[in-house]
């Protein structure tokens, strides 16, 4: 294999060990591919080299024909598609490790969850299923039961739930016009529950979830492609606009992991993983997750390694990762942490406790003294046994340590077959259209019944108008009658006013 990394069997070179601030010759550190599905952590303060370590490991996996997915939150990973540039510092690092620096560009696919340039990733509501959808919405058991009933009703009536407007429409339907029909077949439902679920769905919409739910649905098999030259594809998911939408980011991550778990067969122990995911700024996955959602993520992470999938979390502090998940991570690469306050020192002490005890290093002290591109490394050997903690001088990536230009991105996208496959708009007939038509048909039927009802009522007889029905004639008749009456009364001495007596 033509690679700047020095492979020994199914390993690739990460760096070389240090002691007392100096490189120890002949003490290279290799990552066994066999254990890369045991997950990992890359942690450290801003500017200490986390992103470059991520890039380095992704390159090694790609060289070994392992596809990778990079969650590019900060927008600084696209440079892996272009060859790097040699300089004295880079060459010195490789020389100390007994390796040769050879610039290389890697096969890249740019992906997107939003309007960013890239292959659009979507999923349908029905693919989430009632349990996962309920976890994402943070529903209680009663509300989850309502969601399960909705999915069952739609399945029984051949109404596809593709996007959120379908889900909202069915919620409105079962709360109003369809309530009797639903309760007759599936039992009573609470309007309070449907109202709460609807508010949760709208909250998800406010974070841009409408863009994610819909067709065409992304096939996770497309993440596991091998390039024409035999290297694993590097799939860069550009999510620079997700930092203010953590709910959507968590939704996508959990759906991707769940889809991979449901789709891939059990593999057992493999010589190398089928796919490795790197989640940058991993705290965004967890910061707004409910306890139920965290439990779901923990379960998937525990089980998905048997499918040949590895997951690496990249974050500033190990404490950003829940302890139950942190305990599942086999590889840990800890870059420097900064101690500016008492709280920082406490954090460093806790971080040090996440690593094996070492008689060679004062971990608490060393964590604050690591230089850029240096890290404390703990990994699993081929037998799954944790190795001793080591202070490492890491190699630099062979690809560009900077971002692509817009023109370079456009060139990649213009040659992508996946853009042609997924960057189209499909609006198949689904629950929204079916229910609208059903309600329209019901309204037209009601209208026809009302017309028939009105037509069947007996009509009132219409009296022909005579001369005496004329208003003017009626008024004249009343005037004449009044004059005649006064005349008669006057003749009888009963009408009019009495005249005064006169002398005549």
Predicted confidence (pLDDT) per residue in 241-273, tens digit: 766 777 777 778 888 888 898 889 998 788 899
Question: Do 71 and 147 fall within a single domain?
Answer: no
Is residue 258 assigned to a domain?
yes
- Per-residue model confidence as pLDDT tens digits over 367-385: 888 999 999 999 988 888 8
- Per-residue model confidence as pLDDT tens digits over 130-173: 988 888 888 999 999 999 999 999 999 888 899 999 999 999 99
Question: Do 392 and 271 fall within a single domain?
Answer: yes
Whether residue 503 is predicted with pLDDT greater than 50 in this model: the reply is: no
Could you list the residue range(s) of the whole structural domain that residue 111 is in?
A: 11-121+218-403
Question: Do 42 and 154 fall within a single domain?
Answer: no
Is residue 60 assigned to a domain?
yes
Split into its structural domains, the chain has a count of 2
User: Which token pair is 29?
Assistant: 């550190």
Q: How far apart are CA 109 and CA 223, in angstroms?
A: 9
Q: What is the mean pLDDT of residues 286-291?
A: 71
Is residue 354 assigned to a domain?
yes
Question: Do 143 and 234 fall within a single domain?
Answer: no
Residue 254: CATH number of its domain: 3.40.50.300
Question: Do 286 and 154 fall within a single domain?
Answer: no
Question: Do 92 and 146 fall within a single domain?
Answer: no
Question: Do 399 and 433 fall within a single domain?
Answer: no
Question: Do 312 and 230 fall within a single domain?
Answer: yes
**Lowest mean pLDDT across 103-117, 202-216, 439-453, 455-469:** 455-469
Is residue 489 assigned to a domain?
no
- Per-residue model confidence as pLDDT tens digits over 60-94: 999 999 999 999 888 889 999 999 999 999 999 99
Q: What's the angle, vertex CA 433, arms to CA 431 and CA 439, rounded to 5?
A: 95
Residues 6+ apart with CB under 8 A from 122: 211, 212, 213, 214, 215, 216, 217, 218, 422
Is residue 353 assigned to a domain?
yes
- Per-residue model confidence as pLDDT tens digits over 401-453: 999 999 999 999 999 999 989 988 777 777 778 887 877 766 666 666 666 77
Q: How far apart are CA 303 and CA 308, in angstroms?
A: 10
Is residue 498 assigned to a domain?
no
Is residue 411 assigned to a domain?
no
Question: Do 184 and 239 fall within a single domain?
Answer: no
Is residue 494 assigned to a domain?
no
Question: Do 27 and 166 fall within a single domain?
Answer: no
């Amino acid at each position: 294999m033509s690679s700047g990394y020095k492979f020994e069997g199914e390993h690739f070179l990460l760096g070389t060990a240090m002691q007392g601030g100096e490189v120890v010759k002949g003490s290279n550190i290799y990552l066994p591919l066999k254990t890369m599905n045991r997950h990992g952590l890359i942690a450290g303060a801003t500017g200490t080299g986390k992103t470059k370590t991520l890039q380095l490991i992704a390159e090694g996996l790609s060289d070994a024909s392992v596809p990778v997915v990079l969650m590019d939150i900060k927008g600084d990973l696209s440079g892996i598609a272009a060859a790097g540039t040699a300089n004295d510092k880079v060459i010195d690092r490789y020389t100390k490790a007994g390796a040769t620096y050879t610039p290389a560009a890697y096969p890249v696919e740019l992906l997107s969850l939003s309007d960013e340039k890239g292959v659009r990733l979507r999923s349908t509501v029905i693919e989430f299923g009632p349990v996962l959808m309920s976890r994402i919405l943070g529903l209680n058991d009663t509300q989850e039961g309502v969601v399960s009933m909705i999915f069952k009703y739609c399945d029984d009536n051949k109404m596809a739930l593709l996007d959120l407007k379908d889900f909202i429409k069915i919620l409105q339907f079962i709360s109003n016009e369809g309530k009797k029909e639903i309760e007759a077949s599936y039992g009573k439902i609470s309007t309070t529950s449907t109202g709460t679920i609807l508010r949760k769905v709208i909250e998800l919409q406010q974070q841009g979830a409408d863009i994610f739910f819909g067709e065409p649905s992304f096939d996770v098999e497309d993440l596991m492609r091998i390039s024409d030259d035999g290297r694993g594809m590097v799939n860069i998911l550009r999510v620079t606009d997700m930092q203010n939408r953590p709910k959507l980011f968590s939704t996508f991550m959990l759906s991707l992991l769940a889809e991979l778990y449901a789709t891939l067969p059990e593999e057992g122990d493999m010589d190398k993983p089928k796919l490795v995911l790197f989640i940058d700024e991993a705290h965004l996955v967890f910061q707004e997750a409910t306890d139920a959602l965290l439990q779901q993520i923990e379960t998937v992470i525990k089980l998905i390694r048997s499918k040949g999938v590895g997951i690496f979390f990249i974050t500033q502090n190990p404490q950003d990762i829940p302890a139950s998940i942190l305990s599942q991570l086999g590889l840990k690469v800890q870059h420097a942490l900064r101690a500016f306050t008492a709280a920082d020192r406490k954090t460093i002490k806790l971080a040090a406790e996440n690593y094996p005890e070492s008689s060679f290093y004062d971990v608490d002290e060393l964590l604050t003294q690591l230089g850029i591109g240096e890290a404390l490394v703990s990994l699993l050997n081929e037998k799954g046994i944790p190795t001793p903690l080591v202070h490492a001088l890491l190699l630099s990536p062979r690809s560009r340590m900077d971002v692509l230009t817009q023109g370079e991105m456009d060139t990649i996208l213009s040659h992508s077959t996946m853009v042609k496959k997924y960057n189209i708009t499909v609006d198949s007939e689904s629950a929204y259209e079916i229910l609208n038509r059903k309600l329209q048909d019901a309204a037209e039927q009601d209208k026809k019944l009302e017309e028939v009802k009105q037509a069947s009522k007996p009509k009132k007889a219409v009296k022909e108008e005579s001369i005496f029905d004329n208003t003017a004639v009626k008024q004249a008749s009343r005037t004449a009658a009044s004059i005649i009456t006064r005349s008669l009364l006057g003749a009888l001495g009963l009408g009019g006013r009495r005249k005064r007596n006169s002398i005549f």
